[in-house]
Each structure stands twice: as C-alpha cells, then as structure tokens.
Structure 1
C-alpha cells in the first residue's frame, strides 16, 4: 500500500510546517560584514540544509535579519538550499545529488522510512549523544512518543516533527443541511444511507435544482480516501492489515468485510449518491464542488473542507458547517486509525561541517523563542502578537501568509506547545484548522496491530512485484466500482492477486513483523 506516501503528500499541502523544503535555486547568501557599531562579529560556522518548499524563499532583508539573529543565538551560519522542482522526487534527487557529489549538506528532512534506509546505508548520524550534550531543550519539550517514533534499533534518527492531529481523515457532513432537513448526524451505515438519499432528493441547498452531491471526496483523494474513512465501519483494522485466526497479517482486501464495503459503495454509486466525477477529480475540482455549495458529505483530511473550499463557500453561505463524524458498522472496528505522532525527522548527515553546531541550531528551536523566530521571524519586525497567541504579519496584508516578508525558511523542529494554538496565524483559515483539529481529535481512534513496525520492502522477495500488485488491486477496484466487472468476480480478483505474487508479499511482511515483535525494539 502507498498510504505513507499519500499521507506525506497530504500533510505537505495542508500542514504548513510539516514539510520544510523546495525552489528552483539556492537562496542568496546572507550579508556578511561588521556589526552596526562597526565592530567585527563572529561569522559563525556555516552549515547547509535542504528545504523543499519554494514559497519559503522570500529573498528579503527580513530573512537576512532572521539569519543573523539565529547566528547570534547558536553560532550557526545557516545556508538553506532549495531543490529545483519542489518536494517529493525532485527534492530527493537534489539531496542525492548533493550527497554523491560531495557538496556540503549537513541536514535535511526525511520521512521516517527514508531515515531508516539512510541509516542502514551509513549516511546519517544517530543523535542520542548529540541530544544529551546539546539538545536539552528538545529533550525537554518534544514529547517522548515522538522521539520513540524516530528511534530505530535504539538509535534516534532525527529530530521528529510533531504531528498535531490524533486523527487525519474522516467523513465530514453539512450539519446545517441536516438541521434544515430535520435530520440528526447519522451513527450507523444504514442511517448514513438514509441521509444520502435525503441529500439527493430533498434539495438541501434550496436552489430548486437536482445538483446536490450526497457524498464526495476532497484533499486530492479518491477511492483510497473512501477506504480510509468508511472502511473502519466494515473492517477489523480499518484499511490496515489484519490478523487471521492463525495470527498471520493479511491485507484488508482479503477480509470478508472488504467485500461488504465494496458492495455498499457499488450500490451507492448505482443510486447516484456518490459524485460521478470522483475517480477523475483533481484537488481543485473537489474544492470547487465544496465551494459551490453542492457537497453534502465529504471524505477528506481534516482541512479538506477548509482551504480553497469552505474558505470560498463562507462568502455565500456564512453559516455553513462541516462536522467530522464516525459511522458504526456491524463488523467494523468503528474507530479511525490514529495518526502517528511524527511522520518525518530532521537528520544530520555523517559528512557534515559540524554536527554540534547543527544540533545547537536545532535545539534553539526547542525553545518557544527560537521556534517563533525560525517560524515567523522577529517580533516587531516581521509580526505582532494578537490576543490568544495569534500572529499578525507586518505586511501588506497582516493575515495573508503569501505577503509575509519572512516565513519558515529556517524552521526545522515543530512542537505542539501546551496552551498555544497549533496554527497561530490570526486568519479565518487558521481558526478553522484549530477548530477542526479539536473536532477530529475527539473521534474514536485506534493503533494498528503493527503500528511502529518498519518494513524494509527492499529485502522482500516480492519487492520487484509490489508496484504491479498494488496497481492490479487499484485497477480492479475501480472496474468493479464502475460496473465494468461484476461484483461477484471479487473472489477471483483476489485469487489472481495471490497468484501474481501476493502470497509471497504476505509471507515477506509477516516475516519482518515476527522479527520486529520478537526483538521488541522496533520504532
């Protein structure tokens, strides 16, 4: 499954500080010279980091002042390099090119699975000793669970980027439409189907046109998003691998509950309850559907009904309300998968200028002062504080992130500070993010059976076939959903998948799971 990659891409789009990185060129060198009183200053030790977000490179005088303040506090002369094509593959290519060419690269953000692989290849340093000597603020303020998530065979691979969400994806429903139709938030799958029928037939938007979409998707997802948020009502481990009576892990598609789930989706699709453009929709089209006051319920990440969606809808329907909820099914776990406390880490490469200086730079951001400096710049120069710990930019628009003269260029560590808003920009979108986070975090959740186990798929005998196996299942699901293949053929599809290499894939995963469970030191 490609759940990890999907989650990473979703968070890069919606969680502004979880993915720090990408532009077509390197940022300009900060000015080096004397201090304002003409006296020479300590130039600091130059360290170089890779950033994959092009919007963070503002090339302003304010950025230079933030750089100088960080150097004063840590002794680090930080230079940030940007990738040519943004995040994902282009940023990985840039990182690999710098490492192979011998170009200086001291630190970068990696997914935890990438960090494990690069640690096994001898490319990154374990940070245990550096944290003990130079990372006391990080040790104090990063939650222990995040460091545990970033630990592999006793080695701390990097500084974890804390995730502020306990649950990432859920169904969200128009509570204002429910009130108008005198309906309650559904609790069961059957009750939800009754609501979908009402949304389709009873004109909840009041425009006299049959244009309402009872159930849609957002956040760039499609069929996999429905599996993520509806699957828990049908499957014992939601859309994670489950254990059979013999204790063997198996993929969700092999559980009898998956057939029930698929049958229900096919039925809803035939009844017109699902958005007809769902499978081919882009994130932009999904946002337009919500903004156009047409989507009654949505399968999405926490922010899928906010950014460029509800943000536009509120101009015509100020009192609209999407509320997250969870459905109960007769055979499902009826809880949503818990989001990992951290998805990625900031690592220090073995070939580096000065690991102590890099750690001091990281550790300064383990203080609230250093965190705010690296995130928003210098208070009074780049921003002011509004009531409730909210930030307003000193710029053309005090709430528009794109207008800020400095934003997050030097930020690495992300900490959920107690009593502080997770999204502290004093704008409508941030307020909705914080509200939705609270609503999502109240939903029931669970840890998967193999939570925390790292699967090194490169060592699997089935590794060369994994892409074909994933593609086959995805293609066949869509064909069944669209009616191209009779639903009764699902067992045959599963049999074909097993013959293609699925049996070996199951054996490979179970072998590593058993080894990790026996070792009891997996991350």
Structure 2
C-alpha cells in the first residue's frame, strides 16, 4: 500500500508540476498577446522598462569623437534620459541615402522612424500605403510640436487631410548671396557692381586684368558649380528661380520652362563663350569649387550665407591682402533681382506603417523641439558655450568637437529667428552670418506651391530634374544651341510635366 500511495503521491507531484508548467505557458502566451495588442514587442523590452524605438538618420558624414558613435554619445543619452525611451539610431552612409531607404522599405524590416529631406520620397511611400498618419499621436503628445511648427509647414506634410510626417522647418530664408574681393576691385579701380552689365564688366576685368598682380593668366571671372549651382542670383536678375512654381494669369506655372529661364541661359552661355565663366564649372563639386575660392583663383561668386566661415575665411587666412564684401544682387534688364527662397520644410520624419511606436516617436520629437532643442543645437551650457549679458560665448574647439550633435538637432527645428541670431552671433559677428540671412530674406523669391509633392511629382520629378540639368548645362557650355530649350519644354510637358501642372493647379484652386 505504501508503494501504491507513494506512486499516487508521485503521480500527483508530476501532475502538479505539469499543471504549473501549463499555467506558466498560458500566462506567457496571454502576456505576449497583450503586449502585441499594446504595441510592445521583444525589442521594446530590451532596454529594461523603457520602450525602445529604432530611428534612421542621415548624419551627413559627420565624425564622432574617439570612443563615441551614433548610439554612444552624451546628446543621445540626454534625449534618452529625458524621454524615458531607449532609442536605437542607425545612420546609413550619406552617399545614396534615399536609395538605401528604398532598400530598407522593400526589405520589410523597418524601423520606427525614418528621416528624409526628399518630399517626393514621402509621397511615393504614402501612395504605396507604406507610411502611417500621425494626427492622433500629435494631438496626444505633440504640444511643443504644434507650438513651434507653423501652419504652412504642417500643410506641406498633409496628404488627403492627414499628417504623414513631422516636419523640420527651414530656419533660414534662403541660401545664396553675392560676394566679391574688394581688394581686387580696388586694384582695378572698380566700384562694387549693381547691374548685370556692371557684374559682367567686373568678371571681364577679373579674368583679363591680373587682379592678383602675379603676372599670370590664372584668375576666373565667375565661378559656379555643377548643374548650374551657384547661379541663383543670376536667375533672379531675370525675375525667377529654377524649380519653382509661379503664378501667371491666375494659374501656377513651372519656372524652369518660362522664357525668363531661356534668357538666363543665354546670358550664362555668353559668359562661357567669352571666357568669363569658369570652363570647368560642370566638374565643380563642393570640394574643388571651394578650393578655387580659398586658393585665390576666384574673386566673385554666389556664396552661401555661411561661406564667410568657410572658403572665404580660408582665402583671407592664406592671403592677408584678401578682403571680401557682400554685394547687392544683380539688377537685370527689367530692374528685377533676387535669390533663392527656401521651402517651408527641410526635413520629413516619417513612421512606417509597420511600427507600433508612433506615440513614442512623437514624444521624442516633441522633447527635441521643445525643452531639449537649445542643448541639441548649441551644445551643453557651461561646456560648449556660456551666457554673458544675454550673449552666447562659444568655445569653438568644443563646438567643432561636438558638431555631430547636429545630426540630432536638424531632425526637428523650431521656427524661431531669435535663437538663430543668438547662435550665429556667437560664432563671430565678424562673419556677418545673421546680416547675410537678413539680406537674403529681403530679396528671396519663393515657390508659390506649398502643398505636398503631388502623385505625379513622385513618379516623374527625378527623370525631369535630370533632363533639365543635362540640357541646361549643354546650352551654357555651347554643346547645344539655345533653341534646344524649346525642345526641352516640349519634352518636359510630355514626360509628366503637364500632369504635374494639372495636379499643382488643383491644389492651387482649392487652397
């Protein structure tokens, strides 16, 4: 009997343990099911109690100090600590960044947030149902986002009545401003040019009259970059900018197909034929373009507003006689002038449709544009900078060592020019950074299409932009006659331009 009783007791023990195991398994299954319904996956718990989100950024090839990387630095830790989120950052190579995003989207293994500067990319994936609307998350957790992002920027990311991206605004009104070497003007007894004709004469003198006095034919009249970059003020002299939509007779038309664009190309082509325009411009990428400024080969160009701290500063350090000043924008034949005005949105932060963490993404961005913005943009106070009498004093060595922080700061920026001035003045008022921006703002020509890129833009823009760059470059270099412009207009219309124009004007009539 004792053996039987023992056997029964043993069987009871086995059944008891088996029951416990079954109950534990059921509990785990229920928990997993609940977690999935709540949007919590395994990756969410890898950081302990913190919810984990994975974000993809373009770090613009910035370097990290030794021992640091995108996931191990004080600025990402600052965000983690203040949002109670375990944030994992991925930074694909900046070269071909959007192509890498396409591969990622096709893989199905998607992060919780993706950063892009390409609005057509956004529209393309909205059309494919690859991105999710964020209205509810913004309403619940985006108080600072709503406060710091203007209505026109939200309009730019709204498709079919729903918000599909958190926009980072363009904090700068435009980019290009004309700069000239005053010491070269003085050497040749020339006044700062104002009209297009006066600009042309300065170019001719700089090219032909040895302004640097070295006895060599080694100076340029005007230097521009590949794809006609750095020509914005010259298009402005004819009243337009490329790649914009302009109101004509109650409708929006594409600026690059207008007669004014043809006139600008004719002017630039004449400069090229006369030897006043850098013959190598089609090969001028950023590095060798800036080298021509820094080395003293060029004394007139359309500078970015911050080039005074770049190639212009390098030239002045290389040549103590060099003195650069900003110019009025060239006045064209009809008294027009201007430069490029930036679009309201510079960056689009989107959430793939597969993510369950939209709320967490919005919480992170809300902190970054609100309480956290000044630290991310300026660096840590009393470390990278200090405040004295309302002025910011920057430790340039630490500022430069901490530049990687801008990968995070540029994700989401507020519409606040006071903060812009505070920062720019701290970098050195002698560089005239804020003054340059104000001058650009007063002369900027803006795109009148403020909606999200249309469906046809997503389909055709890449091809049409490539066609435009190729044809315009050939016309300026004399490899194609000026009449090639008219063929380009016809081809642009047939290859999607007419459809884009129709969709743009549907937006314009309903705005």
TM-score (norm 2): 0.77
Mark the runs of 5 or more structure 2 residues left unpaired by the alignment.
1-42
The change in CA–CA distance for 1:88 and 1:360 in structure 2 (over 3 A counts) is same
Q: Does the 8 Å contact 1:213/1:274 carry over to 2?
A: yes
Separation (CA, whole Å) in 1 of partners of 2:494 and 2:107: 41
Count of residues in Structure 1 that have an aligned counterpart in Structure 2: 459
* Residue 265 (structure 1) aligns with: 268
Q: Is 1:160 equivalent to 2:160 in the alignment?
A: no
Q: Is 1:505 equivalent to 2:496 in the alignment?
A: yes
Question: Which structure 2 residues correspond to residues 273-292 of structure 1 after superposition, within 5 A?
Answer: 273-292=276-295
* Residue 216 (structure 1) aligns with: 223
Find the residue that maps to 2:299 and give its secondary structure.
Answer: strand
Partner deviation per Cα, 1:93-131 (whole Å, 9 max, x = no partner): 443444444435111212333223322322223222222
Separation (CA, whole Å) in 1 of partners of 2:374 and 2:176: 28
Find the residue that maps to 2:454 and give its secondary structure.
Answer: coil
- Identify which of 66, 82, 101 aligns with 1:73: 82
Question: Which structure 2 residues correspond to residues 229-378 of structure 1 after superposition, within 5 A?
Answer: 229-235=233-239, 240=244, 249=253, 252-255=256-259, 257-304=260-307, 306-307=309-310, 309-318=311-320, 320-331=323-334, 333-367=336-370, 369-375=371-377, 378=380
The offset of 1:162, in angstroms, is 2.1
Q: Is 1:82 equivalent to 2:91 in the alignment?
A: yes
- Higher mean displacement: 130-139 or 50-59: 50-59
The offset of 1:167, in angstroms, is 1.6
- Identify which of 449, 467, 477 aligns with 1:482: 477
Larger proportion of helix: 2
The change in CA–CA distance for 1:350 and 1:389 in structure 2 (over 3 A counts) is farther
* Residue 124 (structure 1) aligns with: 131
Mark the runs of 5 or more structure 1 residues left unpaired by the alignment.
1-28, 34-41
The change in CA–CA distance for 1:509 and 1:43 in structure 2 (over 3 A counts) is same
The change in CA–CA distance for 1:479 and 1:162 in structure 2 (over 3 A counts) is closer
The offset of 1:498, in angstroms, is 5.5
Q: Does the 8 Å contact 1:242/1:252 carry over to 2?
A: no
* Residue 446 (structure 2) aligns with: 447
Find the residue that maps to 1:328 and give its secondary structure.
Answer: coil
The offset of 1:378, in angstroms, is 4.7
The offset of 1:447, in angstroms, is 2.6
Q: Does the 8 Å contact 2:253/2:501 carry over to 1?
A: yes
Separation (CA, whole Å) in 2 of partners of 1:490 and 1:451: 31
The offset of 1:148, in angstroms, is 3.1
TM-score (norm 1): 0.75
The change in CA–CA distance for 1:154 and 1:178 in structure 2 (over 3 A counts) is farther
